[in-house]
Amino acid sequence: MRPLRIGLVIAGIIAAIVAFGMVAGGIFLVWAHETQRDAAGYYTTGSHEYSTPGYALTSEKVDLGVHAKRWFPSGLGTVRFTVGAAQDQPLFVGIGPQPAVEAYLAGVDRSVVSEVDLSPFQVTYERVPGNAKPAPPSQQSFWAAEASGSGGTTLTWSIRSGSWMLVVMNADGSRGVDAQLAVGAKIGLLLPIGIGLLVVGVLLGSGAALAIFFGARRPRERPSLPPEGPSLPPPPPRRDIQPGA
């Protein structure tokens, strides 16, 4: 039975570590859902400045794959881009299929945002040189979602499968883009996932505690019997002696 008890203890310790991680993750997701969303229910970054001397700011290709609808059904996954002009210049923001966007910006001087660090904020660009001048972006018909205007412009888009690119340009397609951009996301699955992690983590932790308890418990000792001594021959029979015999 000793190997079985050792196995129970080891399995219980591993399960306890996994359960702790699940409970911690569940607490974090529930906490984020309750405290880190804005009034519209979005988790959002702060507004930061993005700029390029070229004609457009673009994201890298975002490939959501063919299973995005399964993981983010309608209403459960939405992204929001809030764009403000650093100068008094109307801006355009749009999301389009990656092949169409690259065809539209072929030969156009632009900057691709390749990496963003939020704390502290730092953005890394990949410059794509070119000599072509693009037509105004609002004249294009391939955008899956678009918005334009001066001051603050907001674009919301429900997540869909496919390869996509985000584009920020001056509304007239002119050179020199300077924008304040904030990104938000609304994912309705986070709270159910957090609660599920908490429930499963608590159940797994309870099972781990039982495994450790029964594996580490010392077996009940049986009472010891006194040692048997060497066997003695039976005493001789007693003879009664009569008086005067």
- Reported in sequence order, the residue ranges of 68-107 that DSSP labels E, i.e. its strands, are 77-85, 91-97
| pLDDT at 240 (0 to 100) | 58
CA distance 225 to 162: 79
Beta strand 110-118 pairing with 121-128: antiparallel
Range 41-187 has CATH code 2.60.40: no
Tell me if 113 sits within 8 A of 58, measured CB to CB: yes
- The torsion defined by the Cα of 182, 153, 51 and 101, in degrees rounded to 10, comes to 100
Q: What pLDDT is recorded for position 199? A: 93
The tokens for 112 are 């691709």
The C-alpha atoms of residue 68 and residue 51 are separated, in whole angstroms, by 31
Percent of the chain with pLDDT over 70: 82
CA distance 80 to 47: 12
- Using alpha carbons, select from 205, 149, 185 the residue that is nearest to residue 18: 205
> For residue 181, which of 79, 104, 53, 107 has the smallest C-alpha distance?
79
Q: How confident is the model at residue 104 (pLDDT cuts 50, 70, 90)?
A: very high
Alpha helices in the chain (DSSP H): 2-35, 68-71, 98-104, 190-216
CA distance 128 to 120: 26
User: Which regions of 119-237 does DSSP assign to beta strands (E)?
Assistant: 121-128, 145-149, 152-158, 163-170, 177-187
Joined together, the tokens standing for residue 87 give 């100068």
By CB neighbour count within 10 A (0-12 exposed, 13-18 middle, 19+ buried), where does 95 fall?
A: buried
- Residues paired with 113 in a beta bridge: 59, 125
Supply angle C-alpha 21, 212, 19, rounded to 5. Answer: 10
**Structure confidence at residue 9 (pLDDT):** 85
Q: What is the mean pLDDT of residues 59-76?
A: 57
pLDDT at 107: 93
Q: At residue 53, does pLDDT exceed 60? A: yes
What letter does residue 161 receive in the DSSP assignment? S
Which one is predicted more confidently, 224 or 143? 143
Q: How far apart are CA 131 and CA 106, in angstroms?
A: 10
So what's the pLDDT on residue 227? Answer: 61
Its pTM stands at 0.68
The domain limits of the chain are 41-187
